[in-house]
Amino acid sequence: MKSTPFTHKHIALGAKMAEFAGFNMPISYTGINDEHAAVRNSVGVFDVSHMGEFILKGENALDLIQRITTNDAAKLTAGKAQYSCMPNNDGGIVDDLLVYCIEENNAYMLVVNAGNINKDWDWVVKHNINNVEIHNISNKTCLLAIQGPIATKVLQPLTNIDILNLTYYTFAKGIFAGVENVLISATGYTGSGGVEIYFEDKNNDADKIWDAIFEAGASANIKPIGLGARDTLRLEKGFCLYGMDINDTTSPLEAGLGWITKFTKNFTNKAFFEKQKAEGVNQKLIGFEMIEKGIARHDYEIADTSGNIIGKVTSGTQAPSLGKAIGMGYVHTAHAGIGNEIFIKIRNVAVKAEVVKVPFV
């Protein structure tokens, strides 16, 4: 099992640790609800150094990205990022990812999911027909996500970058906590604001940056946050998690990701998705709230009012911000309308729920 440069910090803080995507990761420290509230109301720090990062360079870098992703990366200028996905040849998704434009038409960074690093790298290499210079920098890249409504206020004294005015899906490079060449972005996965900090761990820079962040945030009662609260936070905002809500068999159009599927360019399996868009999808990813008591979990069956199985739950939890159980899942398109009554099969009992608009908060 792999460690991140911050694993010793998590253990020293008494975190509940568990394996995730091959890494020894913190699941919680003081409890999911407490950590969730810290991010929604104040500021919290996530170690997400398990994520993968690829650098693509050269005159054909943009062409490669355009061919393997659904969004239009040609719209990116230096300092901007975009959410996208890599479709496969079977109508599903290889992975969802972030595309960072470091130098327009010449240098980009792809940020991919931890569990898909090897698969994604092989996919990029396979499609690199024009000999783009590519580097897998995942093993040497640290990534901290400092999230919450006061995150940038807490961190601003530590950097020469104007992070108070860093707009959503933009980034800049500069000095942070005395460390040079740090990339700071605003592409958060919690919906509560904040930034992400990418840097290489040289000369114990990881410890230096971690300690500086917690010292700067001490008066704001800054907290370390585990993957448990990361999941409840992203679910409240309706953000998909690869391996749960999207995977190799789910179409971006089924998952409500038509907004990142641009048919103005050529990309892998474009004709299939064009046909799917024209004819309509057979299933859709929906959000739901539990009307009766019960918590939906991944792979629980979803039924209609007559008891017919119409789909499956992909994600579900008790939402700390709402005080009620919520979830997402795929259902036959005819049952996907807002306000529709559905039933979640929990231990063979049909528990009533209602299709609602996402995000939940």
pLDDT at residue 18, as a whole number = 98
Range 271-274, long-range pairs (CB < 8 A, 24+ positions)? 272/91, 273/70, 273/87, 273/91
CB atoms within 10 A of CB 135: 12
Mean pLDDT of 338-344: 98
Please enumerate in sequence order all residues whose Cβ is within 8 A of that of 45, keeping only pairs 6 or more positions apart, or say none. 144, 145, 146, 147, 210, 213, 214, 217, 222, 223, 224, 225
The residue ranges of DSSP E strands in the chain, in sequence order, are 16-20, 23-28, 44-47, 52-57, 80-87, 93-103, 107-112, 133-136, 141-147, 171-176, 179-185, 194-200, 223-225, 283-290, 301-303, 309-319, 324-332, 341-346, 349-356
pLDDT at residue 41, as a whole number = 98
CA triple 98-311-93, angle to 5 deg? 25
pLDDT at residue 191, as a whole number = 97
Residues 65-101: pLDDT tens digits? 999 999 999 999 999 999 999 999 999 999 999 999 9
* 297 close to 351: Cβ distance less than 8 angstroms: no
CATH topology classification for 282-356: Elongation Factor Tu (Ef-tu); domain 3 (2.40.30)
Q: What proportion of the chain, given as a percentage, has pLDDT over 70?
A: 100
pLDDT at residue 327, as a whole number = 98
Mean pLDDT of 182-194: 98
pTM summary value: 0.97
pLDDT at residue 231, as a whole number = 98
Residues 190-239: pLDDT tens digits? 999 999 999 999 989 999 999 999 999 999 999 999 999 999 999 999 99
Residues 107-161: pLDDT tens digits? 999 999 999 999 999 999 999 999 999 999 999 999 999 999 999 999 999 999 9
On average, the pLDDT of the chain sits at 98
Residue 249 pLDDT level (bands cut at 50, 70, 90)? very high
Mean pLDDT of 257-279: 98
pLDDT at residue 14, as a whole number = 98
* 212 close to 177: Cβ distance less than 8 angstroms: yes
pLDDT at residue 1, as a whole number = 94
Cα 131 to Cα 100: distance, rounded to the nearest angstrom = 20
pLDDT at residue 203, as a whole number = 85
Residue 186 pLDDT level (bands cut at 50, 70, 90)? very high
pLDDT at residue 108, as a whole number = 98
